Structure 1
Amino acid sequence: MAETLFWTPLLVVLLAGLGDTEAQQTTLHPLVGRVFVHTLDHETFLSLPEHVAVPPAVHITYHAHLQGHPDLPRWLRYTQRSPHHPGFLYGSATPEDRGLQVIEVTAYNRDSFDTTRQRLVLEIGDPEGPLLPYQAEFLVRSHDAEEVLPSTPASRFLSALGGLWEPGELQLLNVTSALDRGGRVPLPIEGRKEGVYIKVGSASPFSTCLKMVASPDSHARCAQGQPPLLSCYDTLAPHFRVDWCNVTLAEERPGYLRHPDGPPLHHPREHRGAAADGGQPRGAPATLHPAHVQCAHR
């Protein structure tokens, strides 16, 4: 009862400050081919002082869309675990997305129905530094997407993966919820996760260990229900439970995409445009997978 009385006057002030005012503007700089993560936190939209924590009773959800369109651009996704948790805008821009994109975000207070708005100006450019042609994607079954989007768990994943790869700097290229790849919302059982695909790039060639786990022989063992070939110690366990039967390796060069054990394959976007691989035209809004929408708003 005492805790409720403490939060009541503060909530009155906070709700009054979440009125529908002129949108604030923030400029961000996503890079083509690199993961972009922007946190939609309650503190920012409530304009709280640094020393004041958000009361647990505040419920805020968000809606984000490309300016002039009802949805987000196809490369950008939104997720939020619950109104108690922050929201995330995340994705990896393609070369077709270079330039300026404006994302409009509206925060809704689920108790008072007040709103506040924010405008994110995305100046999308090319990354600097060496190319990262060696790219690997891992299905991590022990985590949901929003659990690896903050910088700390993402850095921990890259550090652990460094024990399986040749020396060289590893960079996070993309994060995709398993729900966006056709996965299903798990049963409400403690410890069950939706899973997340994490894509990593490097200038260093793949290690023998990674080549072995992604080899046809290893895939054949997986198809028969046997464990995959893994010639090195799993440095990601126990913090990250990787599905080693779902590891994809690819060497990407300008104009084509080559898998380590196969011939060069033309990259569809180099000569057919985004629509050729099922994508939408540049600047067109993206539609979220129904399961992902359920995840974001449940």
Structure 2
Amino acid sequence: MLIALHQCFIDNFIYCKTGVNAIDDDINTIYTTELFHTAYWLNDTARHFNQSDYEQIDIMPMLAGYPDLPSWMMFYRRSHSPIVYFYGSPPKGEDGDIEIEMILIDRFTFNHTKDRLHYRILSKNETYKYEVQIKLFDIDLEDFIQQNRSKSMMDIFRRRLWRTNATIYLTNLYQPSKIGFSFPLDPTEKEGLVVRIGSVEPYTPELLKLEDETMVIRHRNPCPKRFRLTTAEYIFREHKFRVDWCGFRLHTVENVTKDE
């Protein structure tokens, strides 16, 4: 059974896919150094297997012709969710066309099928020279994408912290445990999320002040959640973000590693 893939665009960089064994001539255009994410829905795969439980479907993605995804591309699936997210940020020099193959398996019946995603990577005209890292409490990648929290985050930086009309954009998202942070001590709490924002403009006095303010707790593990002494805490609270200030960092382009 061939089911056509449907593509949707939200906030210019979210791609949504559904389907099984689809013949897809559409190419998703993404840019070097800039965050992309693709939402792949498993509902149609479950129907393809003549069952409604998408939770028993496993997915094995890989770059076509290779055993794994590119080092800069990750995938995330929340427990009990029908959505798999592919996300990341292609580094400079990775422009070109790639194809992601997926093997989808019903772990109880061992029925399987295949699907694929196509990407065209273009070089971004103006890439960031300065990057800010923010770590958030009690949120995960699906929350951030589904609730379109990127808009609120960008508003904070464009209007309050960087205060610039120059190039500014999301450069990447990370699960904290993937880049050296610990899981929350409370097992009922969501892992959190690391967000990185880049700009061509130098750091403002506000950002440099935050760097100084958070230096004293940078190596605390776990981070004290009651630490609310930064001058920007109220700005993030207004947008309903809970910031883990132990994870705040300023990076320059020379010491940013895209494949952490």
Pairwise TM-score range, normalised by the shorter structure:
0.7 to 0.9
| Aligned equivalent of 1:91 | 88
Q: Whole-Å Cα distance in 2 between the matches of residues 46 and 223 of structure 1?
A: 45
Q: Whole-Å Cα distance in 2 between the matches of residues 113 and 197 of structure 1?
A: 36
SS state at 2:169 partner? strand
Contact 1:33–1:173 (8 Å) recurs in 2: yes
For residue 215 of structure 2, the aligned residue among 206, 210, 219 is 219
> Does 199-208 or 217-226 show the bigger shift?
217-226
| Aligned equivalent of 1:173 | 171
SS state at 1:234 partner? helix
Identity %: 21
For residue 78 of structure 2, the aligned residue among 72, 76, 81 is 81
Contact 2:131–2:198 (8 Å) recurs in 1: yes
Q: Whole-Å Cα distance in 2 between the matches of residues 65 and 138 of structure 1?
A: 29
Q: CA deviation at 1:278?
A: 11
Q: CA deviation at 1:233?
A: 5.3
| Aligned equivalent of 2:246 | 245
> Does 192-201 or 31-40 show the bigger shift?
192-201
| Aligned equivalent of 1:183 | 181
SS state at 1:97 partner? coil
Q: Whole-Å Cα distance in 1 between the matches of residues 232 and 182 of structure 2?
A: 31
For residue 149 of structure 1, the aligned residue among 145, 152, 166 is 145
Deviations 1:53-82 (A, max 9, x none): xx9744333210011111111000111012
Contact 2:89–2:258 (8 Å) recurs in 1: no
SS state at 1:236 partner? helix
Within a 5 Å distance, the mapping from 1:51-90 to structure 2 comes to 57-59=53-55, 60-90=57-87
TM-score computed with the length of structure 2 as normaliser: 0.74
> Does 103-112 or 82-91 show the bigger shift?
103-112
Contact 1:134–1:203 (8 Å) recurs in 2: yes
SS state at 2:236 partner? coil
Q: Whole-Å Cα distance in 1 between the matches of residues 118 and 20 of structure 2?
A: 20
Q: Whole-Å Cα distance in 2 between the matches of residues 155 and 111 of structure 1?
A: 40
Q: CA deviation at 1:30?
A: 1.8
Q: Match for 1:38: what amino acid?
A: T
Larger radius of gyration: 1
Q: Whole-Å Cα distance in 1 between the matches of residues 27 and 47 of structure 2?
A: 18
| Aligned equivalent of 1:126 | 123
Contact 2:74–2:87 (8 Å) recurs in 1: yes
Structure 1 pair 174/221, CA: closer, same or farther in 2 (3 Å)? closer
Structure 1 pair 195/96, CA: closer, same or farther in 2 (3 Å)? same
SS state at 2:131 partner? strand
Contact 2:170–2:196 (8 Å) recurs in 1: yes
The gaps in structure 1 that reach 5 residues or longer are: 1-13, 49-54, 258-266, 269-276, 280-288, 290-298
Deviations 1:49-108 (A, max 9, x none): xxxxxx974433321001111111100011101253300111110123222222101223
SS state at 1:71 partner? coil
Structure 1 pair 214/43, CA: closer, same or farther in 2 (3 Å)? same
Q: CA deviation at 1:248?
A: 1.3
| Aligned equivalent of 1:136 | 132
SS state at 1:121 partner? strand
Q: Match for 1:159: what amino acid?
A: D
| Aligned equivalent of 1:283 | none
SS state at 1:159 partner? helix
Q: Match for 1:183: what amino acid?
A: F
Contact 1:98–1:124 (8 Å) recurs in 2: yes
Deviations 1:223-256 (A, max 9, x none): 688958633453112621112232111333xxxx
Report 1 or 2 for greater relative contact order, CA contacts < 8 Å, sequence distance ≥ 6: 1
Q: Whole-Å Cα distance in 2 between the matches of residues 231 and 104 of structure 1?
A: 46
